[in-house]
Homo-oligomer: A and B are copies of this chain.
Amino acid sequence: MNISQAATASGLPAKTIRYYEDIGLIRPARSANGYRAFSDTDAHKLAFLSRARSLGFSIEDCRTLLALWEDRSRASGDVRKLAKDHLDEIDRKLAELHQMRDTLAHLVNCCAGDDRPDCPIIDKLAKS
């Protein structure tokens, strides 16, 4: 399988796949012409990575998850801990974003948004 097929199969851009090889997440074989030759296993790994990334796991977390996936004697506790830590991080970000959102939504609501200069948004930024 060439890189564009692997890209289609995994849902990842070819550029990203090359990058993943660069940083050692995958090691596809090479054909005689120098093209990357992706096995089904490679394609599965890429799909795995694509799903893990879409859950927001960092590349380094993905590297660990990939290793755990391939380790038949893994402890599910290790996976769970990784996921739980990530979940906690997401909860932190959610709280922060929610705070921003509420403040911002309030300000946007208060602002007339017309041609006049008076603006509670600017006022808020100007003096806390």
Within the complex, which residue of B48, B71, B75, B126 is in contact with A126, where a contact is CB–CB below 8 Å?
B48
Contact of A101 with B94 in the complex, beta carbons under 8 Å: yes
A103 at the interface (CB under 8 A from B): yes
Whether A55 pairs with B128 at a CB distance below 8 angstroms is: no
**Which residues from chain B contact A36 at a C-beta distance below 8 Å?**
none
Residue A84 lies at the interface, judged by CB distance under 8 Å to chain B:
yes
Bound together, the chains give a CA A115 to CA B120 distance in angstroms of 56
Copies in the complex: 2
Residues of chain B lying within 8 A (CB to CB) of residue A27: none
Cα distance A100–B52 in the bound complex, in angstroms: 10
Within A33-73, which residues are at the interface with B (CB < 8 Å)?
44, 47-48, 51-52, 54-56, 65, 68-69, 71-73
In whole angstroms, what is the CA distance A67 to B5 when docked? 49
A: residues with CB less than 8 A from B are 44, 47-48, 51-52, 54-56, 65, 68-69, 71-77, 79-81, 83-84, 86-87, 90-91, 93-94, 97-98, 100-101, 103-105, 107-108, 111-119, 121-122, 124-126, 128
